[in-house]
Amino acid sequence: MLAFELALQTASLSRPLSRTEQQVLGIAAFAREMHDGGYAECFTNASRVYAGLWVEMLFALGCEQAARITRGTLGVLRVPLTPEALAERMATADAALLALLERSDERYAALEVELAAPLLGWIAARRAEVNC
């Protein structure tokens, strides 16, 4: 996943990315952030720009339970899925919200979600739409 992420980030410097390419970047960023620190990190770091794509992509990759957990977690934030709104919400997060996010992290981790193989298959089925 990292190779696709880096290639697409480099490509984005010289051209606009297609929706499919943005979806690849979004799910790669989600996987990295979930591995490194969980939902709070997803909503705080720059990867939050892709928050609106995560649930759709998790369902597309066949990760239904992860998609449902993520949809519920996004819902508890009660803000639009824009980078600015997410950053502001996390900057003012109280202990109760952080506890909810931590519980979501635990539920997600218990699934032992593997995103790399499904993502590679998804990309292969759309290879004409991913130029890197």
pLDDT over 70 percentage in the chain = 100
pLDDT at 2 over 90: no
> What pLDDT shows up at residue 132?
82
pLDDT at 110 over 90: yes
Res. 3 pLDDT band, cuts 50 70 90: confident
Calculate the average pLDDT of the chain: 95
- DSSP one-letter string for 48-69: GGGHHHHHHHHHHTT-HHHHHH
User: By three-state DSSP, how is residue 93 classified?
Assistant: coil
Query: SS in 3 state form for 66-85?
Result: HHHHHHHHHHHHCCCCCHHH
User: By three-state DSSP, how is residue 99 classified?
Assistant: helix
Q: Is 94 exposed, middle or buried (0-12, 13-18, 19+ CB in 10 A)?
A: exposed
Across the range 19-43, mean pLDDT stands at: 95
> What pLDDT shows up at residue 118?
95
pLDDT digits (tens, 9 = 90+) for 41-87: 999 999 999 999 999 999 999 999 999 999 999 999 999 999 999 99
* Residue 114, both tokens: 């593997």
Across the range 14-33, mean pLDDT stands at: 95
pLDDT at 19 over 90: yes
pLDDT at 5 over 90: no
